[in-house]
Amino acid sequence: MATVTLTIDRHKVTVEQGTTILEAAREAGINIPTLCYLKDLNVLGSCRVCLVEVKGARNLQAACVTPAGEGMEVTTNSPPVRQARKTALELILSDHPYECLTCIRSTNCELQALAESFGIRRVRFEGERVQKPLDDSSPSIVRNAEKCVLCRRCVAVCEKVQTVKAIAPQNRGFATVIAPAFEAGLARADCVFCGQCTLVCPTGALHEKDDIHLVWAALADPKKHVVVQTAPATRVSVGEGMGMAPGSIVTGQLVAALRRLGFDRVFDTDFTADLTIMEEGYELIHRIETGGKLPMITSCSPGWIKYIEHFYPELLEHLSTCKSPQQMFGALAKTYYAQKAGIDPADVYVVSIMPCTAKKFEAGRDEMSSSGYADVDVVLTTRELCRMFKEAGLDFAGLPEEEYDAPFGITTGAAAIFGATGGVMEAALRTAYEVLTGKTLEALDFETVRGLEGIKEATVDVGGLPVRVAVAHTLGNARKVMERIRSGEADYHFIEIMCCPGGCIGGGGQPIPTDLEIRAKRIKAIYDVDSKMTLRKSHENPAVQELYRDFLEKPLGHKSHELLHTHYVQRKRHQNM
Amino acid sequence: MFPANPQYHYEKEVEPKVISSMPTTPEPVLARVDSIIAQHRETLGALMPILQGIQQELGWIPEAAMHRVAEALSMPPDKVYSVVSFYTLFSTKPKGKYVIRVCESAPCHVEGAAAIIAELEKQLNIKMGEVTPDRQFSLEFTSCVGICGVAPAIMVNDEVHGNLTPAMVSQVLSKYK
């Protein structure tokens, strides 16, 4: 490994050749501020916030794009550097609305934090401000171009991680705007509403559609029986939004806090995750035994579903017909549960707490009203829920741990791991093995399908049948798998695909920041949740067994088809034509 | 577009910016677009020559043409629009047969461009940025065209007219009428 040695602020630093000044400084524990920079994804040097002095250079250099050179002398903190950074920030602020107090990203905004740390008390430049229409055309994501600093981090994630390319810079100079083609709304683009752009947006230019008011109204309505479900990934992320360390497991506090908001029942999406394993597991077995379409691909992730509908509509038959756990929950809450509790289903109001912006879109799909009502009434992202907790003045970390309500609060570890990439696969394998072989599975941890590698493959011996499986997360990796299916190279039986990096724990509705390191901590937490559960296999969930006994009869039965399965839509590309 | 769940309202569609005066681009026009695409699609970096070809052939680039180009080059349409909207010589609106570009740089300004503009607007009965109803003339600004020695200057398509006075404007226009 060739190295270079340079001095940064009089510290000698030796780094691998090709390392930028910015990364070299970070390795040495010297922090250079950045705004447009996103490691490995968006390295443009355009915002000029990372300017440093390099001895002998004609002018200040952007540390994020300048390679460290042998013998280089870098100063990251001198009067000219501070002045230049300040000027750059002032110029950005001169075209930014001063709406910090009312902004959805207030106190969690990179631009605000930079202005604060540079002590900017006045912006010397006054002039015209860009005026752009607010794009709230989509059910999931709001685009406010007036708050955009044109860093292009959203474009980089959409293009390089998700390969969706729904947005790009349009026009030039002052008129530049990051938008779908022809500056249309996101609803008209091939946007899958994954919300990864909202995670990397440094300001309030891209954010989740805020539906809190609907939930407050429902909670205040005495006629409504308001039930809430919490997605697997939220129990290891809500804590972050409430000021706790990344990877904090807060299941008990989450339940307690939801009760304090006034929900009539606090249920768990993990319950229908277990149910998904039953339905999807039997569907897989059925397909293998009857020569059905293989490989079968999971259908829990609504961003992934919209992606395949747009980009691979001819391969929709590969999708499992199972609804996502969120939608199974909604359909059962307004049928089985309402019946059991003796409540008019018209009065049952279902709120979902999801790590996901695309879930809002999913809840609004035509197919998702098999109970005779909108199966799920409102979807809140983790971020929105944290705002409700703050509004209610809850001391979240100090709350006593409470238990979920029966029956939809009885769950297994197999369901919890749905929140991490590979989790659905692992849960399915645990059940498939035992159902097919009739033997008890000794080693429950399928390490080969865990972790942050983009595409994971394994062959699992299930009672003499070698089951070939693959697990992919991010749509970029999903695309690679789909191309292999299209060309006939893929010989898998079962594939798990999750839209977001790391799976749902890295979803577009999760607390900001959500970076690689934080994703890894949440994943570790979710496997900790699993390992501490008494029940760790979906088919052992007694409430699921009771549901089949009293209501559904059997997996893939008539009622299941009616309530728990769905169909997909072939979507055209570029509907804005 | 996303019905079913009454909690979600999507009435506030953000309309696409490009609204051409032709609601749909007729097939014969698209056929011309297709032949331009066919000429260049195999060349490396085909996007620019194709867009230049369409601009030259039609005088503007309709939205439907951008979709054709996107499809032919396996590019998302936002990338095509990104390029079209970046360069001022690409137009997303129909222009006149003769595009009159008035230099807006300092030397022409000092030498009386304002009076030339006023006269052009009066003679053509349109404002800067507009097109005559018969689609014969468009009026627009341009940055310096590099002939400050004969300021104030205008360009009519590729032809330069310098040392202008308001009195000369009708004479220049008559060449193209």
**pLDDT tens across the length of chain A (577 residues):** 899 999 999 999 999 999 999 999 999 999 999 999 999 999 999 999 999 999 999 999 999 999 999 999 999 999 999 999 999 999 999 999 999 999 999 999 999 999 999 999 999 999 899 899 999 999 999 999 999 999 999 999 999 999 999 999 999 999 999 999 999 999 989 999 999 999 999 999 999 999 999 999 999 999 999 999 999 999 999 999 999 999 999 999 999 999 999 999 999 999 999 999 999 999 999 999 999 999 999 999 999 999 999 999 999 999 999 999 999 999 999 999 999 999 999 999 999 999 999 999 999 999 999 999 999 999 999 999 999 999 999 999 999 999 999 999 999 999 999 999 999 999 999 999 999 899 999 899 999 999 999 999 999 998 888 999 999 999 999 999 999 999 999 999 999 999 999 999 999 999 999 999 999 999 999 999 999 999 999 999 999 999 999 999 999 999 999 999 999 999 988 764 3
DSSP helix, strand, coil percent of chain A (3-state; round to 5): 40, 15, 45
Q: Which residues lie below 8 Å from residue B65, measured CB to CB, with a gap of 6+?
A: B25, B29, B30, B33, B54, B58
Query: Phi and psi (nearest 5°) for A496?
Result: -100, 130
> How far apart (Å, rounded) are the C-alpha atoms in residues B99 and B8?
47
Nearest alpha-carbon partner for A78 in A48, A55, A58: A55
Q: Which of B4, B12, B16 sits opposite A182 (nearest CB)?
A: B16
Q: How confident is the model at residue B26 (pLDDT cuts 50, 70, 90)?
A: confident
Chain A touched by B167 (CB under 8 Å): no
Q: Are A67 and A21 in contact (CB under 8 A)?
A: yes
Beta strands in A414-473 (DSSP E): 455-462, 465-473
pLDDT reported for residue A382: 98
**pLDDT tens digits for range B41-74:** 999 899 999 999 999 999 899 999 999 999 999 9
Taking CA–CA distances from B79, the nearest residue in chain A reads A168
> How far apart (Å, rounded) are the C-alpha atoms in residues B124 and B88?
23
> How far apart (Å, rounded) are the C-alpha atoms in residues A99 and A319?
44
The strand order across the sheet containing A225-230 reads A265-268, A225-230, A348-354, A378-381
Q: How confident is the model at residue B1 (pLDDT cuts 50, 70, 90)?
A: very low
Q: b vs e for A309-320, b when ≥16 Cβ sit within 10 Å of the residue's Cβ?
A: bbbbeeebebbb
Give the count of Cβ contacts less than 8 A between chain A and B: 109
Chain A touched by B82 (CB under 8 Å): yes
- Tell me if ipTM is over 0.90: no
Q: Which of B5, B13, B18 sits opposite A182 (nearest CB)?
A: B18
Find which of B85, B87, B88 to mutate to test the A interface (most A CBs within 10 Å of its CB).
B85
CA distances for A258 relative to A139, A241, A383, A401, A516, angstroms:
24, 15, 14, 11, 29
pLDDT reported for residue A408: 97
CA distances for A46 relative to A20, A69, A150, A155, A415, angstroms:
15, 21, 9, 14, 44
In this complex, do A363 and B64 lie within 8 Å of one another by their Cβ atoms?
no
Q: b vs e for A13-36, b when ≥16 Cβ sit within 10 Å of the residue's Cβ?
A: bebeeebbbbbbbbebebebbbbb
Chain A touched by B146 (CB under 8 Å): no
The tokens for A474 are: 């991010």
Chain A touched by B149 (CB under 8 Å): no
In this complex, do A363 and B8 lie within 8 Å of one another by their Cβ atoms?
yes
Angle between helices A79-94 and A110-117 (to 10 degrees): 140
Chain A touched by B86 (CB under 8 Å): yes
In this complex, do B3 and A366 lie within 8 Å of one another by their Cβ atoms?
yes
β-bridge partners, A20 = A67
In this complex, do B81 and A368 lie within 8 Å of one another by their Cβ atoms?
no
Q: Are A390 and A401 in contact (CB under 8 A)?
A: no
Q: Which residues lie below 8 Å from residue A546, measured CB to CB, with a gap of 6+?
A: A407
The tokens for B12 are: 């506030």
DSSP SS3 for B103: strand
Q: Are A120 and A164 in contact (CB under 8 A)?
A: no
Nearest alpha-carbon partner for A385 in A373, A394, A374, A398: A394
Query: Phi and psi (nearest 5°) for A208?
Result: -65, 150
pLDDT reported for residue A576: 46
Angle at the Cα of A472 from the Cα atoms of A470 and A475, rounded to 5 degrees: 145
* Closest approach of A221 to chain B, Cα-based (Å): 15
* Closest approach of A564 to chain B, Cα-based (Å): 17
Question: Which residues in chain A are contacts of B14 at CB distance < 8 A?
Answer: 133, 135, 137, 183-185, 187-188
DSSP letter at A449 equals G
**A371: amino acid identity, one letter:** S
In this complex, do B78 and A211 lie within 8 Å of one another by their Cβ atoms?
no
State chain B's mean pLDDT as an integer.
87
* Closest approach of B169 to chain A, Cα-based (Å): 32
Question: Which residues in chain A are contacts of B2 at CB distance < 8 A?
Answer: 139, 187, 361, 364-365
Q: Are A142 and A206 in contact (CB under 8 A)?
A: yes
Residue A170 CA to its chain's centroid (Å): 27
Taking CA–CA distances from B19, the nearest residue in chain A reads A182
Q: If residue B156 lies in a helix (H) or strand (E), which one and from where to where?
A: strand B154-156
DSSP SS3 for A211: coil
Provide residues of A within 8 Å CB-CB of chain B: 133, 135-139, 165-172, 179-185, 187-190, 211, 214, 360-361, 363-369, 374, 376-378, 574, 576-577
Question: Which residues in chain A are contacts of B86 at CB distance < 8 A?
Answer: 171-172
pLDDT at B13 over 70: no
Q: Which residues lie below 8 Å from residue A224, measured CB to CB, with a gap of 6+?
A: A218, A347, A348, A349
Find which of A210, A366, A577 to mutate to test the B interface (most B CBs within 10 Å of its CB).
A577
pLDDT reported for residue A572: 83
Q: Name the pairing type of β-strands A465-473 and A494-498.
A: parallel
In this complex, do A168 and B82 lie within 8 Å of one another by their Cβ atoms?
yes
The number of C-alpha atoms within 13 Å of B129 and in the hemisphere containing its C-beta is 0
Q: Which of B5, B7, B79 sits opposite A168 (nearest CB)?
A: B79
pLDDT at B25 over 90: no
pLDDT reported for residue A464: 86
DSSP SS3 for B63: helix
Q: What phi-psi label fits residue B157: left (phi over 0), alpha (psi between -120 and 50 degrees) or beta?
A: left
In this complex, do A182 and B82 lie within 8 Å of one another by their Cβ atoms?
no
DSSP SS3 for A298: coil
Dihedral sign from CA coordinates of B42, B45, B46, B47: positive
Q: Are A394 and A255 in contact (CB under 8 A)?
A: no
Q: Are A546 and A407 in contact (CB under 8 A)?
A: yes
Q: Name the pairing type of β-strands A348-354 and A225-230.
A: parallel
In this complex, do A168 and B18 lie within 8 Å of one another by their Cβ atoms?
no
Count the neighbouring beta carbons within 10 Å of the beta carbon of residue B139: 23
**pLDDT tens digits for range A304-338:** 999 999 999 999 999 999 999 999 999 999 999 99
In this complex, do B4 and A366 lie within 8 Å of one another by their Cβ atoms?
yes
Q: If residue A214 lies in a helix (H) or strand (E), which one and from where to where?
A: helix A212-220
Q: If residue A350 lies in a helix (H) or strand (E), which one and from where to where?
A: strand A348-354
DSSP SS3 for A76: coil
Active site residues of A: 280, 283, 300, 320, 359, 362, 367, 504
